Structure formats: structure tokens, C-alpha cells
């Protein structure tokens, strides 16, 4: 038999390795798992570090030729800076959109194929679209912003920082300031209201336009209702109205190399119509308000005759005598009584025409209101013309009834300017007044709305400030008309009466005149009538003689002089002589300048009355000067606005030329600050460009 061979000749016995391999596998698995956790932890820390620390705080969204739009992710702000990042034009806080506690990268541009557009959906709350347009001709760049809510009842709110920027524009307010940084207004609808009834509201003239001294202009869409609020010295905010219609928040931000460049670009965008001149003869004669409490037409006529004779006796020349709405109605009713008596065949001794009234220069006052206790209103209810008045539905079936308003302390109805027949009725009434009284001018009051009226009318076609715009169109048709409010109507041939002021030295009195003047003209309203000398907010004569004189010294250089307190009230020749002197200066100096710069306004839209920065748009010292103004580029007026002062500081802007004092003939270089410059009570500091004096 063959010998069987031993397959394991080794003396070492066989060993089983299964247990050792298992132990090694468990050890390696634990080590690998720990290593994986460590790597994951390091990656997480790295990602967090990249997002929080290492990731740039700024993301460039759009870039122009000299400016760019940046997203500041930590402050939730949009910032427009120069490409070199050495100048900030504006910072817009949009952090209220979405969750403020979550940092939003804001880097995903859904319009990435277009380098001039940026699109993004924010936290499923709002969609934003930003478009960039470069205007090489005006050296400006405009960013059009449109925020649209994703859901109903979402409020969109963007706030513009006031840090290191002086802001101008918007709306008139009580105690007007220049710039508007120190305003403090709660969030409210951005519409014109009557400041006498709503002192904390917006009044007089209003435009959806704001201008910053850094060279930035903000133009808000006027077609979409918004709210506006001011936090003093911090920011002003635009806020959309929550609604089922998902109303957007839309505005355009334009930047230029300085404040003047930005304003000129804004004026190009705002000027959609050719500019029409009002009747320039309005500036030639002062307006004198007839203060009377009589209760009949014949008594009004007698007061007119007495007042006219006093103007002549005191050698104040011709003037326009202004009648309030009550006196206008008394004269109108008196003439109707005369016509009715003639029809009844009464004797000529008991009937009389109004030849004296027709010979005088008079201004009457009308409004779109009609008292509910008047015969005309009762007649409209009987003859089926109640649709002449603004109405509201009385029940779900939609039956319309005239809406009650208040005007001059009485319950009234208001003319429905969306009804062509109502407009024809009003024009016929004006024509009848013209035939009977022969008035030179009409003051049309009462365009301003109220919160109640706004809520009742919405969504009526005359809601918001549309009533003011339509009434301005009606006033333009009438001609020789003065209005008390304006919005989107600076191009129309109208004079605008400025807001009545208090009879004191505060910002709601004398100190408010120049800020209001600069505010009006910046927004395009150059043909204005300032409040009466001494203030007319309260229907009382001004007893402060110094206040009367200093007030007169300011308004004598404005388009029209108007009086509430007659100068003979003070019983001495000094006030009367000063009044005669400044009326003459107005006719000799101001009217020719107005006529000259009116041509420039028609062609370019440049304001006739200008702030100091107009000549030195990069000089920070000019941004906050609120007690001086320019007429064109050649006359600087620096009145005294402090009680008892006979000296004041005067800053002469550097426009590359010299200034000459009209009284002393002294010549000063531009950029000079004249400290404690003497200005006597009877004088106002006036400087001419040196070239103008030679």
C-alpha cells in the first residue's frame, strides 16, 4: 500500500484566527466612525465659519459705470455706492421683509442672463425686481425697485437712512424745515390734508419725490397708494398698503455726482408735460385781505369802498382786495336780489348794480363745498341733481346718497368732479360771478381731503390726491386762479397759496417762510403766494411791529406780496414808509428777475428760487442753510429771522465768482462766511453776483 504523506509536517499545532479578525474589525470600524464624525464636525464648523465669518458681508448685485448696488446681508440693507466704495449714496433698510432674525444671503439672481436686472423671491413673502438704467448724457444712473407681495395683506416697508445725508422734498408739513431730517411723523397715508384739521398730516404741496445731499433722488410711483413716516434724524420709510390686490411698492433711485445732478435727472423723469405760465400780472400788485364781519352785500360793498380809499390816501397804490368765501357769497346774493327786484318792477332807488365793485381789482374765494342748509343744495335734491355731489352707498343695494363733509365749521357736500354735468354747473356759477362782480382773480380753496373722506371714497376714481389734480385742471380752465394745494400740477398755469402761518418767530411762523419757499420751488411750484405779512393762521391783526417789518422784508422778494394787517394799523409813518419802499423794491427788482428766470424754468424746469447748494452742490456747508435763498444764480437774499437781531451770519456760496453787497458795495469771494454781519431793522442783506453789478 502506498504510504500516506503527512500534509502538516510543522511541529506547531494549527490555530483558529476568526476571533482575532473580528476584534481587529471592530477596532477599525470604531476608529473610522470617529474619524468620520470629526471630519463632519470640521466641515460643519468650516461651513458655519464661511457663512458667518469668511463669507463677504457685501454682495454686489448690479454695477453701473460709476455706481453699484450692494446687498449688506448682516443689516438687511440695499446700499448704493461708488464702484470704488469711497462714497455711499443711500442705504435702504429692507430688513422688515421676511424673518429679521435670519440672515438672507440674497445672492441668487433669477435674472442672471441680464446684467442690468436682478430678481429674487424673498422668504416666500415678496418678489423683488431691480433694473439698472445708465444715462450717459446726464451722468446719472437709476435703479428701479419693484417689490410685489406673494400673499395678500402683506405690508412692504423700505426705510431710507438719514445718516450723513440731508433730505429734501416730499410734502409740506406744519413747521416746515429745510432739510426735512428733523421731521417726526407717524406712518400715515401719503396724501394732502388740511393742516388746520390735521396738524400732524401732510399738506399744501406734495410730490412723490425725495432728494438727498449725497447725490441721490428717490421717485415713488404716484399711481400706487403708499404710507410715509419719519423718524427724526434717523430715517424715513415708505410702506405699502395691505390689501387683497397685493399692491406693490415701487420706486426709482437715481444717483449722480452731486445733489444738483441728481435733481436735474429727477426733473427730467418727473416732467411729463410742457410747462405753462400763469398770468404774470398777478405779481405786479400786492394782495390786501379785507377783514370784515358784516352780514349783507351792501355792507361788503361799503367796506370795499372804504378800504380802497384808505389805500389811495396812504399812497400804497393800486392793489388787489381779497374777499373771503362768505363776503363773496353776500355780494353774489346781493346782485341776485337786484336782478329779482328789477323783474318785479321795483323803483330804481331801491335797486342798484355794483359799478364800484367792477371798477376795483378784487379777488373772490370759492370752494367745491356747499352747505346742506343752503337753498342750492335743497334744490338739487328736488330736481334730481344730487349726483353733483360726492356720494356713498347707503345700503348693500348701492343706492347713492351725498356724503357729508365739514368745511369752515359747517356740514357740507362736496362737488363731484367726476361728473361732467357738475363741472358745467360750477363753471356756469363762476361765469355768473364774473359777469356780476368783474373779479380779477379767484382763490379756489378746499381741494384737500380728509381721512374720513379717503376711507369713504375708496376705491372711487377721486380718492387719494386725484381730487386735487382734477380741481387743478378745472382751475386752469377758469384762468387767473389761485389754488391752495398742488400735486402733479406744477406745470399748470396756476399760482399756489402757501400754508397759513402763526404770527410769531417760530418755525411755524416767520422762520418757516424760507424753508417752505425752498420746498415749494424744489418740487416745481415757483409761482406762489406766501402767507400774508405777519401771518394769518388766526384771523387777528398782528400787533408785533418788528415781526411785521421782518416778515415784509422776506416776502417782498417772493413772487407776490399779500397783507392781512394793513400798515396804517400801527399808527406811525415808519411802518407805512417801509411798506411803500418794499412794494417798490418788489416791482423794481423781483418782477424783472422772475420774468427772466421764468424762461429758464419753462425750458429746463430749474427752480427760480434756489437753495445755497445750487451754486456749490458739493459744499456740505450749503446743505442745511435754511434762512437764505437765491433768485436765479445772481441774487442772494439773507433776511433776519431772529427777534431783536440787527446782525446775522451770512454764507456766500462759491460759484466761481464774487459777491457784492447791494448797500455797501463791498465785494467778497465766494465761499466766505460773514459773521455778525450788520443788518438794520429797515434793511435786508442782498448780494449780487459781481458781474451783475458792473
**The dihedral of CA 669, 675, 681, 684: what is its sign?**
positive
| Residue 105 binned pLDDT confidence (cut-offs 50, 70, 90) | low
Q: What is the mean pLDDT of residues 11-35?
A: 54
DSSP 589: I
Given this model, what pLDDT does residue 16 score? 45
Is the pLDDT at 101 greater than 60? The verdict is no
Single out the residue of 390, 384, 386, 352 nearest to residue 368, CA to CA.
Answer: 390
- CA 359 – CA 279 distance, rounded (Å): 20
Q: Dmax over Cα atoms in the chain, in whole Å?
A: 175
- In terms of Cβ atoms closer than 10 Å to its own Cβ (0-12, 13-18, 19+), residue 297 is buried
Q: Are 626 and 514 in contact (CB under 8 A)?
A: yes
Residues 6+ apart with CB under 8 A from 501: 508, 509, 510, 512, 513, 531, 535, 536, 537
DSSP 570: G
Q: What is the mean pLDDT of residues 69-75?
A: 88
Q: Are 369 and 414 in contact (CB under 8 A)?
A: yes
Q: Are 98 and 151 in contact (CB under 8 A)?
A: no
SS3 category, 564: coil
Is the pLDDT at 309 greater than 90? The verdict is yes
57 or 574: which leads in pLDDT = 574
pLDDT in tens, 676-694: 999 999 999 999 998 644 3
Single out the residue of 544, 586, 588 nearest to residue 562, CA to CA.
Answer: 586
The listed range with the strongest mean pLDDT (95-109, 197-211, 366-380, 506-520) is: 506-520
- CA 226 – CA 238 distance, rounded (Å): 7
DSSP of 1-15: -PPPPPS---SSPP-
Is the pLDDT at 47 greater than 70? The verdict is no
pLDDT in tens, 413-455: 999 999 999 999 999 999 999 988 889 999 999 998 776 676 6
pLDDT in tens, 568-595: 999 889 999 999 999 999 999 999 999 9
Q: What angle (nearest 5°) sits at the alpha carbon of residue 508, between those of residues 503 and 512?
A: 105
Alpha carbon separation from 211 to 166, 180, 228, 253, 445 (Å, rounded): 8, 10, 15, 10, 29
Given this model, what pLDDT does residue 92 score? 96
Q: Are 437 and 443 in contact (CB under 8 A)?
A: no
Given this model, what pLDDT does residue 590 score? 97
Cell numbers at 439, concatenated: 373779479
Is the pLDDT at 57 greater than 80? The verdict is no
Q: Are 662 and 687 in contact (CB under 8 A)?
A: yes
Q: What is the mean pLDDT of residues 29-57?
A: 58
Q: What is the mean pLDDT of residues 329-333?
A: 87
Given this model, what pLDDT does residue 432 score? 92
Given this model, what pLDDT does residue 692 score? 47
DSSP of 614-683: GT-TT-GGGTT--S-EEETTTEEEE---STT-SEEEEEE--SSSEEEETTT--EEETTEEEEEEE--TT-
pTM metric for this prediction? 0.88
Single out the residue of 331, 519, 562 nearest to residue 433, CA to CA.
Answer: 331
Beta-bridge partners for 209: 219
Q: Are 579 and 634 in contact (CB under 8 A)?
A: no
Given this model, what pLDDT does residue 37 score? 62
Q: What is the mean pLDDT of residues 552-560?
A: 98
Given this model, what pLDDT does residue 436 score? 86
DSSP of 163-227: TT--EEEEEE-TT--SSSTT--EEEEE-SBB-TTT-TTSBEEEEEEEEEETTTEEEEE-TTS-EE
Is the pLDDT at 152 greater than 90? The verdict is no
Q: What is the mean pLDDT of residues 371-397?
A: 85
Q: What is the mean pLDDT of residues 388-404?
A: 80
SS3 category, 386: helix
User: Which value, in Å, is the radius of gyration of the alpha carbons in the chain?
Assistant: 35
Given this model, what pLDDT does residue 4 score? 38
Cell numbers at 398, concatenated: 348701492
Given this model, what pLDDT does residue 535 score? 95
Q: What is the mean pLDDT of residues 459-483?
A: 89
98 or 628: which leads in pLDDT = 628
Query: Which residue do the cell numbers 420746498 mark?
Result: 519
Question: How many of the other CB atoms lie within 10 Å of CB of 66?
Answer: 16
| Residue 221 binned pLDDT confidence (cut-offs 50, 70, 90) | very high
Q: What angle (nearest 5°) sits at the alpha carbon of residue 662, between those of residues 659 and 666?
A: 55
pLDDT in tens, 111-138: 766 788 999 887 678 889 999 999 888 8
Given this model, what pLDDT does residue 340 score? 47
Given this model, what pLDDT does residue 339 score? 42
134: part of which helix (H) or strand (E)? strand 126-135
φ/ψ of 61, rounded to 5, equals -90, -50
DSSP 54: I
| Residue 50 binned pLDDT confidence (cut-offs 50, 70, 90) | very low
Given this model, what pLDDT does residue 217 score? 98
Q: What is the mean pLDDT of residues 632-649?
A: 97
- CA 584 – CA 552 distance, rounded (Å): 12
Q: What is the mean pLDDT of residues 486-505?
A: 96
267 or 1: which leads in pLDDT = 267
DSSP 415: B
pLDDT in tens, 512-540: 999 999 999 999 999 999 999 999 998 88
Buried b (16+ CB within 10 A) or exposed e, 537-564: beeeebebbebbbbbbbbbbbbbbbbbb
pLDDT in tens, 611-629: 999 999 999 999 999 999 9
Q: Are 656 and 623 in contact (CB under 8 A)?
A: no
Q: Are 502 and 535 in contact (CB under 8 A)?
A: yes
pLDDT in tens, 490-499: 999 999 999 9
Amino acid at each position: 500500500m502506498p504510504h500516506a504523506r503527512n500534509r502538516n509536517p510543522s511541529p506547531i499545532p494549527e490555530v483558529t484566527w476568526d476571533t482575532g479578525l473580528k476584534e481587529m474589525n471592530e477596532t477599525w470600524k470604531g476608529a473610522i466612525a470617529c474619524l468620520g464624525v470629526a471630519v463632519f464636525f470640521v466641515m460643519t464648523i468650516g461651513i458655519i465659519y464661511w457663512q458667518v465669518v469668511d463669507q463677504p458681508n457685501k454682495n454686489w448685485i448690479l454695477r453701473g459705470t460709476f455706481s453699484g448696488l450692494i446687498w449688506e446681508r448682516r443689516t438687511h440693507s440695499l446700499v448704493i455706492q461708488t464702484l470704488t466704495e469711497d462714497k455711499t449714496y443711500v442705504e435702504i433698510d429692507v430688513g422688515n421683509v421676511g424673518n429679521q432674525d435670519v440672515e438672507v444671503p440674497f445672492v441668487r439672481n433669477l435674472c442672471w442672463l441680464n446684467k442690468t436686472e436682478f430678481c429674487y423671491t424673498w422668504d416666500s413673502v415678496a418678489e423683488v425686481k431691480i433694473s439698472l438704467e445708465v444715462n450717459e448724457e446726464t451722468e446719472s444712473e437709476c435703479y428701479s425697485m419693484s417689490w410685489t407681495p406673494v400673499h395678500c395683506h402683506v405690508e412692504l416697508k423700505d426705510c431710507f437712512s438719514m445718516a450723513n445725508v440731508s433730505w429734501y422734498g416730499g410734502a409740506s408739513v406744519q413747521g416746515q424745515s429745510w432739510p426735512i431730517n428733523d421731521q417726526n411723523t407717524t406712518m400715515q397715508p401719503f396724501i394732502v390734508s388740511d393742516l388746520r384739521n390735521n396738524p400732524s398730516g401732510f399738506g399744501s404741496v406734495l410730490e412723490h419725490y425725495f432728494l438727498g445731499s449725497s447725490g441721490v433722488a428717490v421717485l415713488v410711483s404716484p399711481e400706487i397708494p403708499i404710507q410715509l413716516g419719519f423718524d427724526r434724524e434717523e430715517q424715513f420709510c415708505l410702506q405699502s398698503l395691505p390689501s387683497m390686490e397685493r399692491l406693490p411698492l415701487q420706486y426709482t433711485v437715481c444717483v449722480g455726482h452731486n445733489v444738483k445732478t441728481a435733481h436735474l435727472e429727477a426733473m427730467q423723469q418727473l416732467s411729463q408735460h410742457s410747462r405753462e405760465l400763469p398770468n404774470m400780472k398777478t405779481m405786479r400788485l400786492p394782495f390786501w385781505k379785507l377783514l370784515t364781519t358784516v352780514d349783507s352785500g351792501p355792507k361788503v360793498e361799503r367796506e370795499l369802498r372804504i378800504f380802497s380809499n384808505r389805500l389811495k390816501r396812504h399812497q400804497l397804490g393800486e392793489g388787489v382786495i381779497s374777499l373771503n368765501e362768505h363776503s363773496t357769497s353776500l355780494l353774489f346774493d346781493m346782485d341776485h336780489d337786484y336782478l329779482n327786484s328789477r323783474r318785479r318792477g321795483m323803483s330804481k332807488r331801491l335797486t342798484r348794480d355794483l359799478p364800484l365793485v367792477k371798477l376795483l381789482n378784487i379777488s373772490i374765494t370759492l370752494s367745491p363745498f356747499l352747505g346742506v342748509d343752503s337753498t342750492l343744495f335743497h334744490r338739487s335734491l328736488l330736481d334730481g341733481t344730487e349726483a353733483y355731489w360726492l356720494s356713498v352707498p347707503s345700503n348693500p343695494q348701492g343706492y347713492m346718497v351725498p356724503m357729508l363733509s365739514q368745511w369752515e365749521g359747517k356740514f357740507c357736500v362736496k362737488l363731484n368732479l367726476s361728473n361732467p354735468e357738475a363741472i358745467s354747473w360750477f363753471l356756469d356759477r363762476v361765469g355768473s360771478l364774473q359777469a356780476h362782480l368783474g373779479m380779477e382773480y379767484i382763490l379756489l380753496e378746499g381741494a384737500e381731503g380728509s381721512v374720513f373722506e379717503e376711507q369713504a371714497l375708496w376705491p372711487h376714481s377721486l380718492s387719494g390726491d386725484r381730487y386735487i389734480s382734477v380741481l387743478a385742471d378745472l382751475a386752469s380752465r377758469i384762468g387767473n386762479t389761485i389754488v391752495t394745494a398742488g400735486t402733479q400740477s406744477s406745470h399748470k398755469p396756476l399760482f399756489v397759496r402757501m400754508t397759513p402761518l402763526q404770527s410769531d418767530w417760530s418755525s411755524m411762523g416767520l422762520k418757516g417762510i424760507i424753508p417752505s419757499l425752498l420746498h415749494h420751488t424744489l418740487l416745481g411750484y415757483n409761482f406762489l403766494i406766501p402767507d400774508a405779512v405777519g401771518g394769518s393762521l388766526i384771523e387777528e391783526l398782528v400787533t408785533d411791529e418788528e415781526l411785521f417789518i421782518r416778515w415784509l422784508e422776506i416776502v417782498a422778494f417772493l413772487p407776490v406780496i399779500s397783507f392781512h394787517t394793513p400798515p396804517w394799523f400801527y399808527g406811525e409813518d415808519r411802518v407805512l414808509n417801509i411798506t411803500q419802499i418794499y412794494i417798490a423794491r418788489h416791482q423794481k427788482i423781483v418782477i424783472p428777475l422772475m420774468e427772466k428766470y421764468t424762461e429758464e424754468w419753462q425750458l429746463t424746469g430749474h427752480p427760480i428760487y434756489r437753495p445755497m447748494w445750487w451754486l456749490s452742490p458739493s459744499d456740505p456747508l450749503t446743505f442745511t442753510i435754511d434762512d437764505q435763498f437765491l433768485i436765479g444764480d445772481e441774487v442772494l437774499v439773507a433776511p433776519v429771522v431772529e427777534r431783536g437781531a440787527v446782525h446775522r451770519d451770512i454764507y456766500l456760496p462759491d460759484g466761481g465768482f464774487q459777491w457784492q453787497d447791494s448797500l455797501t458795495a463791498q465785494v467778497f469771494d465766494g465761499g466766505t462766511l460773514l459773521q455778525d454781519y450788520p443788518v438794520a431793522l429797515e434793511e435786508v442783506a442782498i448780494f449780487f453776483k459781481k458781474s451783475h453789478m458792473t
